[in-house]
Amino acid sequence: MEQFDFRRMSFYQIWIRSFADGNGDGIGDLYGVYDKLDYIASLGVDGIWFSPIYPSPNADYGYDISDYRNIHPDYGTLDEFRKVLDRAHALGLRVIMDLVINHTSDEHPWFLESRKSRTGPYSDYYIWRDPKWKGESRLPPNNWFSQFEGLAWEYCPEREQYYLHVFAKKQPDLNMDNPRVREEVKGIMRFWLDMGVDGFREDVITYISKHPQLPDGIPFLPIINGQPYYKDGPNLVDYLREFRAVAKEYGALQIGEAPMTPVKTALTYLTGEDRVLDMMIQFDTMGADCFMTEYLHHPFFLPKLKHAFSKWQYALAGKAWNALYLENHDHPRVISRYGSEEFRRESGTMLAAAYIFQQGTPFIYQGQELGMTNIRLGSIEEYEDVATKNAYHSFRRRQTEEKRLRHVHLASRDSARTPVQWNSSPNAGFSDVKPWFSVNPNYPEVNAEKEEADPQSVLHFYRRCLRLRKGSDTLLWGDYREYFPQHPHLYVYERSCGTERILVVCSFSKKEQSWKLPKGYAWEGCTLLLCNYAEEPVPERLRPYEARVLRWGGT
Ligand code: NOJ
Ligand code: CA
């Protein structure tokens, strides 16, 4: 079946547990989603990506799946999902699901069977290896660390073997080299596609083919020392091609999450008619204030962010299509990272312009459009996320509690997982009862109702950006070019098509900045398409976090 044109689209991501509670138990659910579908459509997006909504013991909040063909009872039923799907489609919204097939939950029936013995139909569904012995001591098969919880191996006395888990202990990695496992994946895809969903966001899909020997990793690189041997592995493209064949039958969209995959490798997945993925979630743009993980923080450095933006823009130009994002459920809130809480409205709107007008399909994460910011909880016990707890216990163990918590405040993905702030009533209007997780105490000031009432709000600005992008061939298809790449405070990029040139000017500074048009530009004939301040701009002065979209030529 022919594929729909995902390049014109933009997506809204729902992490359901914190989106909206529709049945009054303090947990977000499909009833809440149903009620908010009109709101989502009102943003001007064209699709929804659901982070996992399947049954899960929640060791990693949905990314540890125990049944691929059902809905978590906390979130509703398959019937309720069908209702949401139909209504979304009626509103012109496509729906894509999270396909998490690098690993399952350890409570998935496949794993419960697999762990029983070395023979049997499921024995080879996971990555099992014998221990290494050093004298009498039993050691794991290699030195890999998991990304979420200690070593990457867990011993299973029934089999007298270890199983691999690149993430948490309760997330055993599937053995994708087993053709039966790949058939299972295709069956899962068909199940949802037959129901009418429009595609998948594929979780850590670049991890599914492991190096056959599972060699030791670099000993002193914690957390990701095994990554060279499980990322972009030898059979990855072959396996993706198998899944692609299924997606193609339905014209379904495939977006692959690809931590640390370099752009050159990305092109091998994303290019041409026989591409195995339509878009990729790269990680470079998440690293402008840290080294590899947010827990290794450094001050925000704009040239690093611009370098990441432009690297992907230039490399994919004319060959592949970008997925654009600044937030998702795995990263702290972008205003708190790359903007300023003090200038929340200004920086929240500027950041929207900084990425939405690039070439690619923008993704907006729930609450981002409301200008939500990081939460700062008082103790590690108040956090929920397994990765947050792990990082707290692995990094800076000799530092004071205060310093360790400060890093959690900067880095935790739980900041993106606080309940969405709908209004200023108790629990931010997310639920009638105490929510499953802390609400950010700033909800009386930061909430959807207030944002709706203020024409200059972050929310309205997102709407304007999406409308402008969709109505402009230059913004959709035009060439990208960056100016002043070394400038410490300004991000200036151009989109051009035929005689039209659009310049997006973003100040990342708390102070006023003077600036000049790039060479080859003159103020004459310039039209202001969009600005995040209500008052007329002064041409060569930018106010704190000002964003302007300027046009020359065209019709
Ligand atoms: C990436 C997901 O986005 C993240 O939330 C999850 O913890 C890991 N993959 C493991 O599934
Ligand atoms: Ca609920």
pLDDT digit string, tens, across residues 236-276 = 999 999 999 999 999 999 999 999 999 999 999 999 999 99
For residue 287, what pLDDT band results from cuts at 50, 70 and 90?
very high
For residue 222, what pLDDT band results from cuts at 50, 70 and 90?
confident
Among the listed residues 257, 346, 482, 546, the single catalytic one is 257
- Contact 519/544 with Cβ under 8 angstroms? no
In this prediction, residue 396 carries a pLDDT of 84
Give the residue-averaged pLDDT of 72-88: 98
Other beta carbons less than 10 A from residue 119's beta carbon: 7
Nearest 5°: phi and psi at 77? -135, 170
Strand 541-542 vs strand 513-514: parallel, antiparallel, or unpaired? antiparallel
Other beta carbons less than 10 A from residue 448's beta carbon: 21
In this prediction, residue 176 carries a pLDDT of 98
Query: Of 390, 438, 448, 444, nearest to 414 (Cα)?
Result: 438
Give the residue-averaged pLDDT of 420-443: 98
Please tell me the distance between residue 372's alpha carbon and the centre of ligand 2 in angstroms: 22
What is the chain's mean pLDDT, rounded? 97
Structure tokens at 550: 């300027």
Pocket test for ligand 1, best of 56, 203, 230, 389 (most atoms within 8 A of CB): 203
The terminus-to-terminus CA distance of the chain in angstroms comes to: 36
Bridge partners, 550 (sequence order): 503, 528
Query: Of 297, 375, 303, 281, nearest to 333 (Cα)?
Result: 375
Q: Is the pLDDT of residue 73 over 90?
A: yes
Q: Give the number of the atom of ligand 1 that is nearest the alpha carbon of residue 167.
A: 10
- Structure letter (DSSP) for residue 271: S
Please tell me the distance between residue 351's alpha carbon and the centre of ligand 2 in angstroms: 32
Give the residue-averaged pLDDT of 7-27: 99
Strand 490-497 vs strand 500-507: parallel, antiparallel, or unpaired? antiparallel
Q: Is the pLDDT of residue 220 over 80?
A: no
Write the pLDDT tens digit of every residue in 24-35. Answer: 999 999 999 999
In this prediction, residue 1 carries a pLDDT of 93
From the number of C-beta atoms within 10 Å of its C-beta (0-12, 13-18, 19+), residue 526 rates as: middle
Please tell me the distance between residue 483's alpha carbon and the centre of ligand 2 in angstroms: 48
Write the pLDDT tens digit of every residue in 41-65. Answer: 999 999 999 999 999 999 999 999 9
- Structure letter (DSSP) for residue 274: T
Which long-range contacts link 187-193 to residues 24+ away (Cβ below 8 Å)? 188/68, 188/69, 188/99, 188/101, 189/99, 189/243, 189/246, 189/247, 189/252, 190/246, 191/68, 191/69, 192/97, 193/246, 193/247, 193/249, 193/250, 193/252
CA distances in angstroms from 493 to 317, 510, 543, listed in the order given: 14, 20, 18
Other beta carbons less than 10 A from residue 251's beta carbon: 13
Structure tokens at 429: 């209007």
**173 noted as active-site residue:** no
- Contact 78/71 with Cβ under 8 angstroms? yes
Bridge partners, 422 (sequence order): none
In this prediction, residue 540 carries a pLDDT of 96
Give the residue-averaged pLDDT of 87-111: 98
Write the pLDDT tens digit of every residue in 116-156. Answer: 999 999 999 999 999 999 999 999 999 999 999 999 999 99
User: Taking CB atoms and a 6 Å cutoff, what residues make up the pocket around ligand 1?
Assistant: 60, 63, 100, 167, 203-204, 257, 329-330
Structure tokens at 269: 């997945």
Query: Of 310, 432, 442, nearest to 372 (Cα)?
Result: 442
Structure tokens at 13: 């991501």
Number of H-type helices and E-type strands within the chain:
15, 22
Bridge partners, 129 (sequence order): 162
Characterize 1-32 residue by residue with b for buried, 16 or more Cβ atoms within 10 angstroms of its Cβ, and e for exposed: eeebebeebbbbbbbbbbbbbbbeebbbbbbb
| Chain centre distance of CA 536 | 35
Pocket test for ligand 1, best of 49, 56, 60, 224 (most atoms within 8 A of CB): 60
pTM above 0.95, yes or no: yes
- Contact 204/146 with Cβ under 8 angstroms? no
Q: Is the pLDDT of residue 219 over 90?
A: no
In this prediction, residue 397 carries a pLDDT of 84
d(CA 475, CA 462): 15
3-state DSSP assignment of residue 37: helix
Please tell me the distance between residue 98's alpha carbon and the centre of ligand 1 in angstroms: 10
In this prediction, residue 223 carries a pLDDT of 80
Write the pLDDT tens digit of every residue in 355-414. Answer: 999 999 999 999 999 999 999 999 999 999 999 999 999 888 889 999 999 999 999 999
d(CA 363, CA 327): 8
